[in-house]
Amino acid sequence: DDIGATDEATLARRARSYSPVQGHYFEDPPRIERGWREHLIDVDGRHYLDMVNNVTVLGHGHPAVARAAERQWRLLNTNSRFHYSAVAELSERLLETLPTGAFDAVLLVNSGTEAVDLALRLARAFSGRPDVACVAESYHGWSLAADAVSTSTSDNPRAGETRPSWVHVLDAPNAYRGRHRGTAAGAAYARDAISRLGDWAASGTPIGTFIAEPRNGNAGGIAVPPGYLGAVYDAVRAGGGVVVSDEVQVGYGRQGEVFWGFEEHAVVPDIVTMAKAMGDGHPIGAVITRGEIVDALADQGTVFSSAGGSTLSARIGVTVLDVLLEEDLPGNARRVGELLRSGLIALAEQHPLIGAVHGRGLYLGVELVRDPVTREPADTETRIVCDRLRDLGVIEQPTGDRGNVLKVKPPMCFSAASAAFFLRALDIALAELE
Ligand code: PMP
C-alpha cells in the first residue's frame, strides 16, 4: 500500500480525487493494509480490533471465500441470464433460512440499496399505491428511492425537512428515550402509528408500503418494542399495503438466537431485503418475496442486473452461507454477544456515562448519557471515547441521530479474548473521562 509514503500524503491524494462526500473514519485515520478475523493491521504493523465491521461477517481474509472466489473467477463469471447451478443453489439456500412456504421468489442484486430500491418498486406495483410509510432515525440506502425513505439525521442532517411527498414518517419506536417508554411502549407506538395510517388514508394518500428494520440498526441496535411490528403490519395489510422488513443490517444470524430480525417479533413480512453479510464484503444483495408480488411488475418487463446473481457472486454467496453455518457463527454471536453484553452491563455499574446497553448477539449499542435521569446525549464524550479507543487499538464509531451510541457489531467470528480486550479498553477510556 504505497510503502514509504506517509499517511498524510496518501490522505491528501485521496482528498483530491475520491470525493470527500464519501467520508472516512477519524480525522486522522490509520492506513489499513490487511485484516485477519476481527483484527485490522495498519502499514506500520499496528493491530486494531474491528468493532464496526458488520459486513465482513466471517472475519477478514477468510481463506474459504478467497479460494471459492479465485476458483470461480478462473472458471467462469457471467450474468444470470446464462444457466449455471450457483444461482439456483444460492436462491434455494436463502429460501431455506426463511419460514417454510412463506416465500418463493428470490431476486439477486448487488447491495442493500439496490435491494431496498427494488423492494419499494415491487411493493408499489403490487399495492398499486405510491405512498410509503417509514420510521424516523432509519437508514435504508443512497439511491433516489432508498434515500427518500432514509430518515436518519446522522446520515443527512436535513432528512426531516427534505423527504418527497410520497414518504410518510412514523416516530422511531424507541422505548429508552422516546415518547413512550417501558413495557407498554410497543402497544402505544403501534396505536400512534395506526392512527397516522388512518389519517393518511383519509387525506387521499393511503399507504402502499411500510418499510422498517426489525431492530433500529442505525439508531444503535435499539429494540423495536414487542407488539409494535405485529400491530403495524396488520394495519398496513388491512389497508391494502404490503410490508418490507429491511434485514440488511440486523439479519443473517448476527443477533444469535434468530437468523432474521423479524422472527423475534413473530411476524412474517411480504418482502425481505438483505445484503452486507451475504457476500462477506463482496457486493451481494437480495430481495425475497412471493411470486405473486413479483408478477405485479410483469407489465414493466423483466428485472435484470449485470452482476446481480453472477456466477461469482452466487458462488461466493453459497460459500459464505456454508461457512457461516459450519462455523456456527450465529451460535458464536449469541455466546460472545452475551459475554459482551454482560460485561457492558457490569461496566455500566461503574461508569454513569453508560445510560443503556442495547441489542443482542453481536449487534449491540452502548448509549452514553450525561445524566441518567434526563438521558442527555453525551455526544462529545462519545467522540472522545472513540478517539481514545483508537489509541488503545480498537476501531470504534458513534452512531444514531444523537451521535451518542457506540457501535458494537464486529465480525461474527469475534472471540471471547477480543471481547475482554474491548471491555478493558472501554473501561480505561471511560475512567479517563470521568
Ligand atoms: N438498509 C440498511 C438497514 C442499512 O443499514 C444499509 C447500509 N448501512 C442499507 C440498507 C444500504 O446498504 P448498502 O450500503 O449495501 O447499499
Distance 275 CA to ligand 1 centre (A): 7
- Range(s) for CATH 3.90.1150.10 in the chain? 7-58+328-433
**Cβ–ligand 1 contact at 382 (below 6 Å):** no
Distance 113 CA to ligand 1 centre (A): 6
Question: Quick check: pTM over 0.90?
Answer: yes
- Range(s) for CATH 3.40.640.10 in the chain? 63-326
Euclidean distance between CA atoms 321 and 277, whole angstroms: 9
pLDDT in tens, 206-238: 999 999 999 999 999 999 999 999 999 999 999
With H, G, I as helix, E, B as strand and everything else as coil, classify residue 105.
strand
Domain 7-58+328-433 sits in CATH at 3.90.1150.10
pLDDT in tens, 115-135: 999 999 999 999 999 999 999
Distance 244 CA to ligand 1 centre (A): 14
Site to substitute for ligand 1 among 52, 116, 409, most atoms within 8 A of C-beta:
116
**Cβ–ligand 1 contact at 243 (below 6 Å):** no
pLDDT in tens, 265-286: 999 999 999 999 999 999 999 9
Distance 140 CA to ligand 1 centre (A): 5
Domain 63-326 fold is: Aspartate Aminotransferase; domain 2 (3.40.640)
Site to substitute for ligand 1 among 154, 248, 274, 305, most atoms within 8 A of C-beta:
248
The protein residue with its alpha carbon nearest to ligand 1, atom 2, reads 140
**Cβ–ligand 1 contact at 134 (below 6 Å):** no
pLDDT at 155: 87
Distance 330 CA to ligand 1 centre (A): 20
**Cβ–ligand 1 contact at 399 (below 6 Å):** no
Q: How many CA atoms lie within 13 A of 98 on its CB side?
A: 25
Euclidean distance between CA atoms 336 and 358, whole angstroms: 15
With H, G, I as helix, E, B as strand and everything else as coil, classify residue 273.
strand
Distance 21 CA to ligand 1 centre (A): 17
Would you state the cell numbers that stand for residue 316, as one nine-digit string?
461466493
Q: What percent of the chain clears pLDDT 70, i.e. is strictly above it?
A: 100
The protein residue with its alpha carbon nearest to ligand 1, atom 14, reads 112
Kindly give the parts of the chain with pLDDT less than 70.
Answer: none
Q: What is the ipTM metric for this complex?
A: 0.99
Distance 74 CA to ligand 1 centre (A): 30
**Cβ–ligand 1 contact at 216 (below 6 Å):** no
Residue 50 burial (C-beta neighbours within 10 Å; 0-12, 13-18, 19+): buried
The answer to whether the CB of 253 falls within 8 A of the CB of 259 is yes
Distance 11 CA to ligand 1 centre (A): 26
The protein residue with its alpha carbon nearest to ligand 1, atom 10, reads 140
Euclidean distance between CA atoms 235 and 253, whole angstroms: 28
Mean of per-residue pLDDT scores for the chain:
97
The protein residue with its alpha carbon nearest to ligand 1, atom 1, reads 140
pLDDT at 243: 99
pLDDT at 312: 98
**Cβ–ligand 1 contact at 141 (below 6 Å):** yes
**Cβ–ligand 1 contact at 213 (below 6 Å):** yes
Closest-CA residue to 129 (of 205, 236, 233): 205
With H, G, I as helix, E, B as strand and everything else as coil, classify residue 163.
coil
pLDDT at 4: 81
pLDDT in tens, 25-73: 999 999 999 999 999 999 999 999 999 999 999 999 999 999 999 999 9
Would you state the cell numbers that stand for residue 114, as one nine-digit string?
439496490
The answer to whether the CB of 396 falls within 8 A of the CB of 389 is yes
**Cβ–ligand 1 contact at 309 (below 6 Å):** no
